[in-house]
Structure 1
Amino acid sequence: MALEKKRWRKRAVIAAVIILPLIYSVFFLSAFWDPYSKLEKLPVAFVNQDQGAVINGKSRNLGNEITEELKSDENIKWVLTTDAEAKTGIQNREYYAEVSIPADFS
């Protein structure tokens, strides 16, 4: 009886040594197999404070031009917001990051 318990324990230990790393690798590696597959769900706050400027005799607002391009970008979930809302959203973990264009960008 004692010999049978000893064999059972050895088999249990061997099974654990084999199965636990396999379970760990499935969960760990699944994050690295395709890290870009869910970026469109990643909320990033985008703040445009650009006031515009006269460039080569033409009035331009480069911040607005970038904002218009980001509206059509579906690779990341851009959330157009104000600076205060972005800071609050970062603190409350509503946004993963903040991208801000300063007032004197143009």
Structure 2
Amino acid sequence: MNWFSLFLAQMTQLASNKGVLYSVIAALLVPIVYGGILLSPDWGPYDNLSNLPVAVVNNDKGAMSGDEALNVGEDLVADLKKSNDLGWKFVDSEEAEKD
């Protein structure tokens, strides 16, 4: 007997027992469906990050370095306002405490 006839004999025997056949089909379909849902090409987690609200509170008072004023907080807020990567919301401390 060659491998193909052995395979057909096993499949015929499997098809005669409906409970085993349904179990094998379910065991094969569950990972396929699970993978299809999770790895769907339409699911782009980074496509909608601009809709993710992120509150930014700047409590930086600045500092002096020699004769130079440093306002790192203001510089950071200015850079974030130019960026549309996330849904930046610039609020004060009181408003941030409410939400």
Give the TM-score of the pair, scaled to structure 2: 0.63
**Bigger relative contact order (CA 8 A; separation at least 6):** 1
Q: Percent identity among equivalent residues?
A: 30
Q: Over residues 7-60 of structure 1, what are the superposed CA-to-partner deviations in whole Å (9 max), with x where a residue is unaligned?
A: 3323321221111111212233349x7543332222221110011223341334
Structure 2: gaps of 5 or more residues: 1-15
Root mean square deviation of aligned Cα: 2.6
Is 2:27 the partner of 1:14? no
Q: Over residues 52-105 of structure 1, what are the superposed CA-to-partner deviations in whole Å (9 max), with x where a residue is unaligned?
A: 22334133422111101100111122111223433443xxxxxxxxxxxxxxxx
Structure 1: gaps of 5 or more residues: 1-5, 90-106
Letter in 1 for 2:93: D
SS where residue 74 of structure 1 aligns?
coil
Change (3 A) 1:82 1:16: same
SS where residue 48 of structure 1 aligns?
coil
Change (3 A) 1:56 1:25: same
Which protein has the bigger strand share? 1
- Count of matched residue pairs: 83
Q: Which has the larger radius of gyration?
A: 2
